[in-house]
Amino acid sequence: MISRMPETMIAKSDFPNSRKVALVTGAARGIGLEISKVLCDDGFDIVLSDINADGLEIAKKEFENVDRSVWAISADISKLEEAERLIDETVKKFGKLDVLVNNAGITKDALLLRMKEDQWDAVINVNLKGTFLVTRASCKQMLKQKSGNIVSIASVIGLIGNAGQANYAASKAGIIAFTKSIAKEFAAKGIRANAVAPGFIKSEMTDVLAEKVKDQMLSLIPMARLGLQRDVANVVSFLVSEKSSYITGQVLTVDGGMVMV
């Protein structure tokens, strides 16, 4: 069961079929909220989804003056019933689903020998299994439509690994392999799937880091600045647009040149 489903329809309540619908997981804050804002600016009706129902209530206030329909629905994507209900309710409400952005993700860092089974399970269950569950449910609808676009937020850590983040790195590498597999599976069915791998992105967490730590991070980035949430959101915007219509199964790093593969 979905923990809470606030009736949060704002703006227009009619859904012209010509309008496109984008669902973003982990949209209550951070990169997911920024992606939702940029896609809304692009003209999508937006489904904001997050496990944090209170956070969603706050996030949706940022869309009060938009001329698109913005709906918020809480769901824990790591739970089969909630992931499926999320997509069912979205399709019931809007009649379709054009874009899925798998953004929700967590970290539970520990060096390997200290990593507890529950730290491993939590990260894999949200980041990787959650992506699988929501994508599978979405693809059922997208196949009926013969169109759809999926972007999953991975991480450069999924490409290069990181000490203390074996669980997170494995989950993000898993998302990349998952993306390539479904891109192959659905390429001929009008559904594209790509991943975005952000590097160090400026956030409340990075703002409070010691100057020395920040300098160390910056020394790894050829462009010598942290990424902005908007930098990630703009790439998602490109990947779900017609401008990228011949791109599928790719991973775009958004990291100021930190990882070049």
Binding site for ligand NAI (CB under 6 A): 25-26, 28-32, 50-52, 55, 76-78, 103-106, 126, 130, 153, 155, 198, 200-201, 203
Structure tokens at 196: 């975005």
Instruction: Give min distance, CB of 59 to ligand NAI, in A.
Output: 8
CA–CA dist 97, 238 (Å, integer): 18
Strand partners, 102: 152
Q: Which residues of 129-164 are buried (b: 16+ CB within 10 A; e: fewer)?
A: bbbbbbbebbbebbeeeeebbbbbbbbbbbbeeeee
Phi, psi of 26 (to 5 degrees): 65, 40
- C-alpha distances (whole Å) from 150 to each of 89, 144, 195, 218, 226 are 18, 15, 8, 31, 26
Nearer to ligand NAI, 26 or 148 (CB): 26
Nearer to ligand NAI, 108 or 180 (CB): 108
Nearer to ligand NAI, 153 or 235 (CB): 153
Instruction: Give min distance, CB of 203 to ligand NAI, in A.
Output: 5
Nearer to ligand NAI, 58 or 187 (CB): 58
Instruction: Give min distance, CB of 253 to ligand NAI, in A.
Output: 10
CA–CA dist 158, 176 (Å, integer): 8
Known catalytic residues are 168
Nearer to ligand NAI, 141 or 229 (CB): 229
Contact between 97 and 138 (Cβ < 8 Å): yes
Instruction: Give min distance, CB of 177 to ligand NAI, in A.
Output: 16
Instruction: Give min distance, CB of 94 to ligand NAI, in A.
Output: 19
CA–CA dist 46, 54 (Å, integer): 18
CA–CA dist 50, 3 (Å, integer): 11
CA–CA dist 185, 175 (Å, integer): 15
